[in-house]
Chain A
Amino acid sequence: MRQLLKTDVSEFRRLLDWTAEMTTHANIPTTAAAIADGVRSGALKAVDVLEAHLAQIAAREGDIHAFNLVTADEARAAAARVDADVAAGRDPGVLAGVPIALKDNMCTRGIPTTCSSKILEGWRPPYDATVVQRLAAAGAVAIGKTNLDEFAMGSSTENSAFGVTFNPRDISRVSGGSSGGSAAAVAAGFSPISIGSDTGGSIRQPAALCGVVGVKPTYGTVSRYGLVAYASSLDQMGPFSTDVRDSALVLEAISGHDPMDSTSIPQAPLSLQHVLSQGVEGLRVGRITDMPSGADPDVTARLEAAFDALTAAGAKIVDVEMPSMKYALTAYYLIAPAEASSNLARYDGVRYGLRVNATDTNAMYSATRTAGFGEEVKRRIMLGTYALSAGYYDAYYGKALKVRRLISDDFARAYAKADVLLTPTSPIVAFPVGEKSDDPLAMYLCDIYTIPTNLAGHPAMSVPFGTGAHGLPVGVQILAPTLGEQVMFKVAASLERSMIAAGGAK
């Protein structure tokens, strides 16, 4: 069955023409699983795999701008080490030789980590994030740091201080955000897998807009140590990939308890690959009947097709209600900026990053932060500071925490009736660059289906499921209860098989 899946995926790709632009060398596989198998067995050299991907970057990065920094030299050294390990008979790791792109908000020792902000331009962390360490230990080859909305605040990567990332499917359009660079890198074939972070949808939404798989795991399953914090009680890191299996592989490698993160769940790494072939016979898939409307018809059409596909595969569709879901946006845009306003206070010019000099320290703080932060970041800091202020705390932050409880309770009731829920990931397909940048509220609405999951701390993932308007990718979102990654991936694998069997939708 696994063999079938691998072959079918390449077939699938040819049919869908998703990676028609890719000019990879003929004998380099396109999935992480296949590359790792090849490198581990000695059939492939990690350095060859790397060069193929660097060539792809050279060919198309100019149009896409997925990266803030391509770390070719470091990658070559890492790939050489992997090959040396294989030659010496040492275990090179489950991701041996697989190029991986890292969102530029996770700390990579000695490599600039900018969060796409002027305030951290050129800053080299003196330590690696736990996820970065685990990927290296698994033999993955970090190929570069990808672009993002500044400090992960945004849904289009247009808030980057270093320029937007264009959608590989249509370079007049956005890649989504905030992990636009990581999504685009995979969609453009720059690396088979990448890592992003998701606070309100920042992995899932760009995955949907770029037509790749994107996963936000249960809060606490992947360590946040070394992830530059945006909203501490909402942030999680997760993978992008071209197929479901690769995301499972990456999550197995990076998840599991980390003593450096107090919010890390004390359990073993997730075990996911074995469920992919299990099918959805008898599974209850929830349709949220009172979901906020606003999705474009081309998007809802694909959602219906997904419900049909799961029914055909033996799942049962059940109706659930989530009456508090419509308040999720409000709760999020009070909680996240509040936490962010505190998390970003450390950027003060004293110990690292940008400093704009002044006659005294207090003036230096203001001069530095005013020059170093972009407009959206400032907006959220102001909103968050306000929501926490004396006299306003109860009305705003305090209330939002209670709304969060209501949403969590809604999910609990829904998951008593359903094993997973299915929604669109994004209400719209990729929009033109500049279309929403004057209206922050319109931009916030991009996350309307993804935000509730972060508030509850549950896992969710976006799976590409055909195309919508202008032939642009549409993603459907599978939501699962806390630590429900296995059932979530089961459903994802089923949808993927349906897409393949259907020969892909136009």
Chain B
Amino acid sequence: MSESPSERISAEVVVKVSRLARLDVTPDEVQRITTQMAGMLEHFADIDALDLSDIEPMTQPYPLSNVFREDVVVTGLDREEVLANAPAAEDGRFRVPPIVGLDG
């Protein structure tokens, strides 16, 4: 009982995702992206058939644990070299437009 491609993802969700990702999309693009993503998700539906209830997720290709660094200061980057590569800087700091519409 699989959903049709258009049911897998809606334009509304695409708009919400694009906002989360901070990508502007025009209404035409929304349509195109929705169709494309729906097609992809239809393909990826092949894993829906698998019974994965007893399977542990695999997050690490090589099992390491307890990797540390000692608490010793190492000279960092030169501020001028870094700020020279910044889009905007002032007073030794990075300058940005007013921070509105964001939850800090």
Contact = CB atoms under 8 A, between A and B. Distances in A.
A331 B87 contact: no
> Do most interface residues of chain B lie in helix, strand or loop, or is the interface mixed?
loop
A365 B36 contact: no
B47 A399 contact: yes
B62 to A, nearest CB: 4
Interface residues of A, number: 69
Contacts of A379: 33, 36-37
Given A353-B87, A456-B61, A402 B37 contact: no
B73 interface: no
Contact of A364 (B20, B61, B69, B96): B96
B24 interface: yes
Contact of B24 (A348, A349, A367, A441): A367
Interface stretch (A68-76, A123-131, A142-150, A204-212): A123-131
B101 interface: yes
B44 A362 contact: no
A383 B85 contact: no
B43 A441 contact: yes
B42 to A, nearest CB: 10
Interface string B6-44: 000100011001101111100000000100110110011
B1 interface: no
A401 B59 contact: yes
B22 to A, nearest CB: 4
Interface stretch (A1-9, A25-33, A168-176, A259-267): A259-267
B57 interface: yes
A220 B61 contact: yes
> Do most interface residues of chain A lie in helix, strand or loop, or is the interface mixed?
helix
Contacts of A408: 58
Centre residue among B9, B21, B37, B94 by max chain A CB count within 10 A: B21
A327 B52 CA distance: 13
Given A327-B46, A349-B87, A382-B17, A366 B59 contact: no
Contacts of A191: none
B101 A389 contact: no
A350 interface: yes
A352 B81 CA distance: 11
B99 to A, nearest CB: 5
CB-CB nearest 5 A-B residue pairs: A457-B61, A401-B57, A355-B87, A405-B58, A219-B61
Given A334-B44, A362-B101, 7 more contacts: A385-B21, A401-B57, A401-B59, A403-B47, A405-B56, A440-B36, A440-B40
19 contacts: A219-B61, A327-B46, A345-B21, A352-B85, A361-B99, A361-B102, A362-B22, A366-B24, A382-B17, A382-B37, A385-B20, A389-B17, A399-B47, A399-B52, A402-B55, A404-B58, A405-B55, A405-B58, A406-B50
Interface of A: 123-124, 126-127, 218-220, 233-234, 259, 262-263, 265-266, 326-327, 330-331, 333-334, 341, 345, 348-355, 357-367, 369-370, 373, 378-379, 381-383, 385-386, 389, 396, 398-406, 408, 440-441, 455-457, 482
